[in-house]
Structure 1
Amino acid sequence: MYLLVPGDINTRTGGYRYDKRIMQGLRAMGRHVELISLEGAYPFPNAAELEQAGAQLAALPDQALTVIDGLAYSVMPEQLARHQNRLRLVALIHHPLALETGNSRATSEQLMQSEKAALRYAQRVITTSQSTADSLRDYQVPDSAMVAVCPGTDIAPLARGASPDSFNLLCVATLTQRKAHDVLLEAMAQLKELPWHLTCAGSLERDADTAQALLRQCHELDLGERVSFTGEADEATLNALYQQADLFVLASYHEGYGMVLVEAIARGLPIVASDAGAIPSTIPTGAGILVSPGNATALAEALRQFMQDDVLRQSLQNAAKTARTSLQSWEQSTREFEAALTW
């Protein structure tokens, strides 16, 4: 099997982490997986980068099982068309590219048409949630071609929290427009009278313009001493941040799954989040409070309830601690992915 991924598979985003864990799991099961890196500014590659990707596809042997991450797969329909009958093409879709926040309407439409065209050539489409699979019906992908394989979760120790006198809120998300940190900051500005500290862990470089705008917003809202931006955190740092947290919060406009949500649940952390995309089906019943995406007032009210309502907070914590015992493992996810490769 060949796994084609744009850029560095060690990139610390949910999509890349999923790809890497599945690759490692398949190799542990005995399947040969050759990783091929596609160079370019995906999902907006230039002509030379697409030509190089086409050459990489052309170099693969006939009937090769070829799994391509959707960040690249969805923007190379012409290259895929040349090999649709020669290669066994599998599209790995984390979420439709057109749903990425911050693109113009014309760009979103262009991405949707490109993805729709590319998906016609896939013999199998694997998504990372049923929500994403459902959304691909708008792309004329038949149900018979789709399989949802949700991410797994590692066993983790229960979070301890940091201080009995203050609530430690944690958001783990790259600073991009889709993650809606601006909405989260607006919400926090409405709660200055309450005792809390917010830690935002996520790359400041992947979307530098958005990151700088968030830092300015934080200063303008006078939240500089109450909000920390750690930048991209390694595994050890993330584990420490989860351990010190009392609540996980995610205000995204869309999530194809939201691996960080189940990683929070694995530590018994309750969640306050938007109800966008796959989030409602990812968070276990009773373990979170959901609000409409983009609504800072509603988000602030949910956070206020968590901090002020002892009974509600205990109920959310109990539900999260119960749910952590039945989360799907990466071994199970890998077995499901392996099964999806046979049709």
Structure 2
Amino acid sequence: MVHVVLPGDVDDPNAPSGGNVYDRRVCQGLEELGWRVHRVGVGGAWPRPGPGGRAALARALGEMPDGAIVLLDGLVACGVPEIVVPHADRLRVAVLVHLPLAAETGIPPETAAELDRLERETLRAAALVVATSEWAGRGLVERHGLDPDRVGVAAPGTDSAPMAPGTDGASRLLCVASVTPRKGHDVLVRALASLADLAWDCVCVGPLGRDGGFADRVREMIAAGGLGDRIRLAGPLAGEPLEAAYAAADLMVLASRAETYGMVVTEALARGIPVLTTTADALPETLGHAPDGSVPGLLVPPDDPAALADALRRWLTEPVVRVKIRTSVRHRRGMLHGWTVTSRQLAALLERLRR
């Protein structure tokens, strides 16, 4: 049996983050592999919860029997070592890190340093740390001085999907990401503003951030550039509306400043959609290569509107480039693994805690 401690919003359709999707899918996958999974949702403003969230987490851990295997989402665990660490000797604790707390964009330096310190204390006490990419695993070892033998990787899976028909083959751009500074919507808008002479439209799908302030600034940028009829912030979508957005897309654009995996990249590739993204962190690893070594998309430096604009112009104006990339995407599409593989990887890591 494994007790899985998750953020309270993990099943909220209005908070469809990659981390929440991952958590839900691996819980389901572990059950399909024969594990008994006891899910514990803990509400709170993680990673810095108020008294209610802290009390709920302390109560949940305190009720677990000695020797229990416990998998904690890092968003819940990493900011409160004073709650988690005292249980590390009696419980077999694993922490799943979707993103280091201090890696979130826009955090004041002093706050980032404090979050880094708290996370380090939590992860050093854990029996197992699970990362979502090889890049992220290496980064956690280096960042926190962890024992590499206690750090494992279970990369997100991808569901098979039909090929996206798209529109005219070039002009419909899709961005699927929460509207937060880390995802770089401001960079995307600046890049698109310089391409007003070309035919394109862009749909941005994703929650509008927790405080809405950044989303408001992005809206102001769109309005100031006269792009209100060409860039649409659609908010969170799921089910058929999300599938319709993918089906209409000719190119996925993700302008992230930091990313430990980037699940929307493989979700686009699964539908045969080329990807334009940045070289931030794990994104080149996630985008990957086709068997012939070709790249199924375009990569640009993060936080560089001019480079992003140049790549978009190439995509929109050079048919040969589009044909080459689409050919690579078709080959890369067949290399993607499903969520069953992810769940097996995670189960193998958790088996270490049974010994």
TM-score category, normalised to shorter length: over 0.9
How far, CA to CA, are the matches of 1:142 and 1:74 in structure 2? 17
Cα distance in 2 for partners of 1:235, 1:264 equals 15
1:170-319 correspondence runs (5 A): 170-204=174-208, 206-285=210-289, 286-319=295-328
Q: Tell me, yes or no, if structure 1 residue 30 matches structure 2 residue 34.
A: yes
Kept in 1: contact 2:168–2:250 (CA 8 A): no
- Counterpart residue type for residue 143 of structure 1: P
Deviations 1:114-147 (A, max 9, x none): 0001101110111111111111122011110011
Deviations 1:88-123 (A, max 9, x none): 000000121101001100011011000001101110
Counterpart of 2:159 in 1: which secondary structure?
coil
- Decide whether the 8 Å contact of 1:274 with 1:290 is kept in 2: yes
Note the C-alpha offset of 1:263: 0.3
SS state at 1:36 partner: strand
Q: Which residue of 1 aligns with 2:292?
A: none
Unaligned runs of 5+ residues in structure 2 are 290-294
Deviating above 6 A after TM superposition, structure 1's stretches of 4 or more consecutive aligned residues are none
Written as runs of structure 1 = structure 2, the 5 A alignment for 1:144-155 is 144-155=149-160
Query: Is 2:86 the counterpart of 1:62?
Result: no
Taking structure 1 as the reference length, what is the TM-score of the superposition? 0.97
What is residue 335 of structure 2 aligned with on the other side?
326
Instruction: Tell whether the 8 Å contact from 2:180 to 2:209 is kept in structure 1 after alignment.
Output: no
- Helix, strand or coil at the partner of 1:42: coil
CA distance in 1, matches of 2:122, 2:38: 22
Instruction: Read off the aligned partner of 2:108 and give its amino acid letter.
Output: S
Cα drift, residue 213 of structure 1 = 1.2
Asked whether the equivalents of residues 176 and 207 of structure 1 are also in contact (C-alpha less than 8 Å), the reply is: no
Partner of 1:41: 45
Structure 1: any 5+ residue segments left out of the alignment?
none
TM-score of the two chains, using structure 2 as the length reference: 0.94
Alpha-carbon separation, structure 1, partners of 2:95 and 2:104: 18
Structure 1 residue 48, shift from structure 2 partner = 4.2
Deviates more, 1:23-32 or 1:200-209: 200-209
CA distance in 2 between partners of 1:62 and 1:234 (Å) = 39
1:12 and 2:16 aligned? yes
Question: RMSD across aligned C-alpha pairs, in angstroms?
Answer: 1.1
Instruction: Give me the identity figure in percent.
Output: 37
Give the superposition deviation at 1:342: 1.6
Q: Take 2:167 and 2:321, find their aligned partners in 1: how far apart are those partners?
A: 20
- Paired residues of 1:62 and 1:87 also in contact (CA < 8 A): yes
Q: CA deviation at 1:162?
A: 2.0
State the Cα distance separating 1:83 from its structure 2 match: 0.8
Distance 1:207 1:292 in 2: 27
Task: State the AA in 2 paired with 1:194.
Answer: L
